[in-house]
Amino acid sequence: MNFVRNQWYVAAYGCEIERSLFGRTILGEPIVLYRTESGEVVALADRCVHRRYPLSESRLDGDTIVCGYHGFTYDRAGSCVFVPGQKRIPRTARVRSYPVVEQDSFVWVWIGSSSPSSAPPRAPWLADPGYTTVCGMEPLAARYELLVDNLLDLSHETYLHGGYIGTPEVASTPITTEVDEDRGVIYVSRHMADAACPPFYAKSTGIDGRITRWQDIEYHPPCLYLLHSRIAPAGVLPRDDGADPDGFHVEVVYAITPETEHSTHDFWAVARDFALADQGVSDFLAESNRTVVLQDVTALDILEKVTRAEPDGYQELSVNIDTGGLAARRILKRMASV
């Protein structure tokens, strides 16, 4: 079990949680979510205390859940308020309640035995009117570590995502990697001064020549991955004061939430600061990014099968491009051992 517990995880987009019962497994824990009459999100353990029937297969009655099997009823705090056939409610009749924060379009849930020691990390662009966002979630039949490896090393864009976001320069440009050991954040940067413009950016920005392309990754383990992507005509740089009116900025956000030891919820979002009202650009970026994510899903589902079939102690060969991924593995291992 390599899970990192006592952390915030994205359980859902806020728009997924409505006035009905919604089941999702996170780090192997079955959770039922719903929105109360006053609009807050509730997250409870998805098992009735009586005979462990899933509450997500039950009925929402006001702000209470009525178990679909024998009618045990729970309030929003997880306390049982009705037991069939008797007046007395046993003291131990309660299901676990999970801390919830709704922020930046995500529903974050704290998984662990301790109380939250911090707020969830931020991805402010997703709910910022200065940006337009497209997003989705794809189920991945692979352990989350394979997705972390994938996202920390973007040289695979050239081979797996050619024709969408990959060009030869991504694989051939060296990276710089930094780790903030105190905050546990990993930074991987690749700045291409003069690169081909892949269709993903050519069609959305309208640039038709070569570009200056910056990829600045910030990984906040375990769950939040941010890719600050800057595109501009080749040679166009931000001004000395930091202003960047001639650059196009895309904030690519992933939330990496383990479902089980061998499956992952792969949340993805693409926020841009240009063509804000252009539905054609939104549709194109949504379609293209989903295609790219599904290319990763296909490859990682294969790798999960390969990994499970390998004997223990299989030796990988790591090279320079893996520096960020290896740092991430090290930090995750440290966090898991706490």
| C-alpha to C-alpha distance for 222 and 257, rounded to whole angstroms | 8
Closest CA to 57 of 30, 85, 84, 79: 30
Stretch that binds a copy of itself, among 8-16, 63-71, 136-144, 267-275 (CB under 8 A): 63-71
Of 14, 71, 99, 233, the one binding a copy of itself (CB under 8 A) is: 71
Stretch that binds a copy of itself, among 100-108, 231-239, 269-277, 315-323 (CB under 8 A): 315-323
Q: What are the phi and psi torsion angles at 15 (to 5°)?
A: -70, -15
| C-alpha to C-alpha distance for 225 and 65, rounded to whole angstroms | 34
Of 127, 137, 141, 171, the one binding a copy of itself (CB under 8 A) is: 171
- Nearer Cβ to a copy of itself (239/333): 333
Interface of this chain with a copy of itself, residues 6 to 35, rule: CB under 8 A: 30
Q: How far is the CB of 210 from a copy of itself (least distance, A)?
A: 20
Q: Could you say whether residue 113 binds a copy of itself (CB under 8 A)?
A: no
Instruction: Please identify which residue in the block is written with the tokens 């375990």.
Output: 222
Q: Could you say whether residue 303 binds a copy of itself (CB under 8 A)?
A: yes
Q: Could you say whether residue 136 binds a copy of itself (CB under 8 A)?
A: no
Closest CA to 271 of 237, 239, 227: 227
The pair of three-digit structure tokens given for residue 86, joined into one six-digit string? 């008797």
In terms of Cβ atoms closer than 10 Å to its own Cβ (0-12, 13-18, 19+), residue 146 is buried
Q: Could you say whether residue 275 binds a copy of itself (CB under 8 A)?
A: no
Q: Could you say whether residue 54 binds a copy of itself (CB under 8 A)?
A: yes
Q: Could you say whether residue 175 binds a copy of itself (CB under 8 A)?
A: yes
Measuring CA to CA, how many Å separate 79 from each of 45, 57, 76, 89?
11, 18, 7, 10
Measuring CA to CA, how many Å separate 22 from each of 17, 42, 210, 223, 335?
7, 10, 46, 21, 29
Q: How far is the CB of 91 from a copy of itself (least distance, A)?
A: 10
Total chain residues near a copy of itself (CB under 8 A) = 47
- Nearer Cβ to a copy of itself (312/316): 316
Binding site for a copy of itself (CB under 8 A): 30, 47, 49-54, 57, 66-71, 83-86, 90, 92-93, 149, 153, 155-156, 158-160, 171-175, 299, 302-303, 306-307, 310, 314, 316-321
